[in-house]
Amino acid sequence: MSEQIHIEVVYALHDRQKVVSVQLAPGATVRDAVERSGLQTEFPEIDLAVNKFGIWNKLTKLDAALRDKDRVEIYRPLIADPKEVRRQRASEGKVMKKGGGDAEAG
């Protein structure tokens, strides 16, 4: 039997995270890992043409080769553009605290 690489594929929602371990042949890609994970069946909103992907918190392409023990992360699209949110708050005169929330009046 040929040697396999062990990969984790992770998808997180606001209230939970799903981690799936897969075994692939050496030379497998991010696309291979996502497809093998079955997460697209469980979460039909995952779209290879829309979502962004990473390996250990670094953005990567679907055709990037994986190494043993890599962690593939599937990122959800942003609900709002952070720059636009800051721009809107600034135009409304709201003060922001570190971390992006509204500052408490003190």
Report all structural domains of the chain as residue ranges with CATH numbers, in order of start.
5-75 (3.10.20.30)
Cα–Cα distance measured from residue 32 to residue 24, given in angstroms and rounded to the nearest whole number? 8
Instruction: Give the H or E element holding residue 89.
Output: helix 82-91
Joined tokens for residue 44: 């039909």
Q: pTM for this one? A: 0.71
What's CA 18's distance to the chain center, in Å? 11
pLDDT band at 87 (very low <50, low <70, confident <90, very high): confident
Helices (H), the chain: 30-37, 39-42, 82-91
- The alpha carbon dihedral of 60, 16, 13, 44 has a sign of positive
Instruction: Give the H or E element holding residue 87.
Output: helix 82-91
pLDDT band at 104 (very low <50, low <70, confident <90, very high): low
pLDDT at position 21: 97
The average confidence (pLDDT) of the chain is 86
pLDDT at position 2: 63
pLDDT at position 40: 94
pLDDT at position 81: 67
pLDDT at 59 over 60: yes
